[in-house]
Structure 1
């Protein structure tokens, strides 16, 4: 298959430093809202990159569920591959690929578990089927047949048929505290606009324009 001719010239308006909010979280919120208003499917979908103890990178898509000035939160099984990687090396990267808007946001930072109280608060908002799914999936472990998974689901339905489903002790959230946040906007002739926010102290950020 010849993909050499797959080409699109981005035509977004120019992005200047003076257009950016000095606070990268507020800037992210602005772009995130624009992604939502543009009806981009799963605008909170983000790629999460981690590194194994052997130094092998791994990437997958997870969903952003909370963001504020403390960081960006996603949820997972604490026995999953990503969780095992984070326990060894908490340095991770996130990427929001809002291609229909000709934009990307790339984040680097440190991941750490959020409190059980915060995880339980979010878990209570999940649909019941999703709560059951968290209980039955030993995430990233080998599975010989989907039939086994569905059998486990039926057992979980029986186990939790009455009352609320509690938070599993092996499931919860991670917060990525950002150290850098890059805002990328596509421009014509591949001369894209890129601005990198770098944390200088607890409450301050520097902004640097990067070459395309």
Structure 2
């Protein structure tokens, strides 16, 4: 399976050692157990930390950095992907309505304009939370006031990005395209590099 490790750049030195050992040995030992077991995982890690700088200043292990840096994917913050805002918002509206058994509400032009104009310092997480709140508080139409944008008191455009700028699905799709480019369009080689089937690779490419 796939294990997503968020904010890997904030790991304490002792945990970095343990993670490196797991990645090299492909074995883990449960807390309190004396027996190790094999694991077969595909690790996806994310961070807001500049790991190259962290390696230079000694706060992040160089060997772990190279272990993780197989297919690096840079995802720009949401404010640089204005065209994605409404697509993601509509997805979160639909997903929230389905999760709570609600009728899917309308996303009126005033709300759409508000979403496009905001800088999203919290990236996709902030967008998802804002949309979920508006769906749960609203009725059949979303209201701009229910979005509660800037709820942390951080004016749009005046803060750096908060921890993670994308969903796991976005990272997987970006990794698929990065692997395909690295392997010069060879889908079999790209799938092998990622440790996934060709069918899974095709699905990721089709969803992009």
TM-score, length of structure 2 as denominator length: 0.24
Q: Compute the TM-score of the two structures, normalised by the length of structure 1.
A: 0.24
Greater share of strand residues, 1 or 2? 1
Q: Which has the higher helix share?
A: 2
